[in-house]
Amino acid sequence: MQVLVLNSGSSSLKFQLISMPKKTILCSGLIERIGLDDAIFKFKTDKDSIEVVQAIPNHKVGLELLSKQLLNKETGIIKSTDAIDIVGHRVVHGGQHFTATTEITPAVKNKIRELSSLAPLHNPANLEGIEVAEAIFPNAKQVAVFDTAFHQSIPEHAYKYAIPNEFLDKHNIRLYGFHGTSHKFVSEKAIEYLDKKQSNIITIHLGNGCSMTAVKDGKSIDHSLGFSPVNGLIMGTRSGDIDPAIIFYLAERFDYTVAEINTMLQKKSGMLGLTGYSDLRDIQAEAEKGNKDCQLALQMNAYRIKKYLGSYAAILNGLDAIVFTAGIGENSPEMRRRVCEDMDFLGITLDAEKNQVRPDKLTVISTDASKVKVLVIPTNEELEIAKQSVGLFKN
């Protein structure tokens, strides 16, 4: 069975074509800077890879470019678009309506559209990817895998906000959680490594978007992102936790509109607001040159993660392992060092030499004496989406 997995962002499109159930990756790639004249199309197989810079005005053109490459006689990956059995889509916000992987119908698309106000940077792009894929691969089953689904196990006392009950009862305002496919994938890998029926794990997904999950016996019991993917840790352009009174102060004192404040918190804050850069690689390079704003931002970022580590260790009532994953978590020894230093009280001791790796598989970077295992596990959201998509049609 051929499963094409699409992770559609506002200006990007990640993809993998996976042969299931063998989990063989036939090709993978990324389209970046959609909407610009210098968009980048990267396409890789086990035999070859290409990188093309050209104008890609929208997701439709990007997917058409992908389809053309899949059908390329030289690559011989597929003979026709009918060879794609399932297209699995990452959808960020499913609200309370979608608690599991779902086959896409017109009603499902309408609900995803309605939920766009809760994830304005993500759901509209996810929906665009769905509608374009329906046109290009008309005979494939289209499936939505929701970031929020893994966190449906979070108990009421953790997901409910201390505001009047009617806002939950009538309007479904609660903590939902995100990056669920990533947290699920790496926590399962960690549990397999630990070989324990009962386990306490904290997974740390660090990329442009960042989140942490407390995972007890394989189930999410708390998560740093909430009603929307803007709170919690400091992110590339998103603020993370702030005092809500700041929003009122900005509106009343400086006449900011709600829309302006939302844009600021979503797109102009986080590491970008602190340093002028959103890419951690740039920030680390500037910090090494002596840029004090960048040095402080790195300190603040790690400090916020450490606060969540402490609180999650408390609610788990113990800690077997912490997991670093995603672009920063997998590739920044510096950030992992900052997070783990001076954490010996919790039983976390990093091995400086092991920490220098950028692994392509599960790697232990803690010392042999560390009571808590520190793991780096490369996430594979696309494989997780493929597994869940195929599972939907097994029965």
Residue that has been written with the tokens 């009280």 in this structure: 345
Nearest to 106 by CA among 81, 84, 131, 126: 131
Q: Within a 10 A sphere around the Cβ of 93, how many other Cβ atoms?
A: 24
Helix then strand then coil, % of the chain, to nearest 5? 40, 20, 40
**Which tokens belong to 185?**
């994938």
Residues, the chain: 395
Neighbours of 371 (CB within 10 A): 13
Helix (H) or strand (E) holding 94: none
- The string over 19-50, giving b where at least 16 C-beta atoms fall within 10 Å of a residue's C-beta and e elsewhere, is ebeeeebbbbbbbbebeeeebbbebebeeeee
According to DSSP, the β-strands at 86-91 and 219-223 are unpaired
Task: Determine whether 255 is an active site residue.
Answer: no
Q: How far apart are CA 384 and CA 376, in angstroms?
A: 18
The DSSP annotation for 291-317 comes to -HHHHHHHHHHHHHHHHHHHHHHHHHT
CB 233 within 8 A of CB 210: yes
Distance from C-alpha of 202 to C-alpha of 372, rounded to nearest angstrom: 11
Q: State the catalytic residue, choosing from 147, 255, 344, 351.
A: 147
- In whole angstroms, give the CA distance from residue 3 to residue 384: 11
Strands (DSSP E) found in the chain? 2-8, 13-19, 24-32, 39-44, 49-54, 86-91, 102-103, 141-146, 200-206, 210-216, 219-223, 321-325, 363-364, 373-376
Give the tokens for residue 264: 């600021």
Distance CA 9, CA 13 (A): 6
Q: Are strands 373-376 and 321-325 parallel, antiparallel or unpaired?
A: parallel
The residues assigned a catalytic role are 147
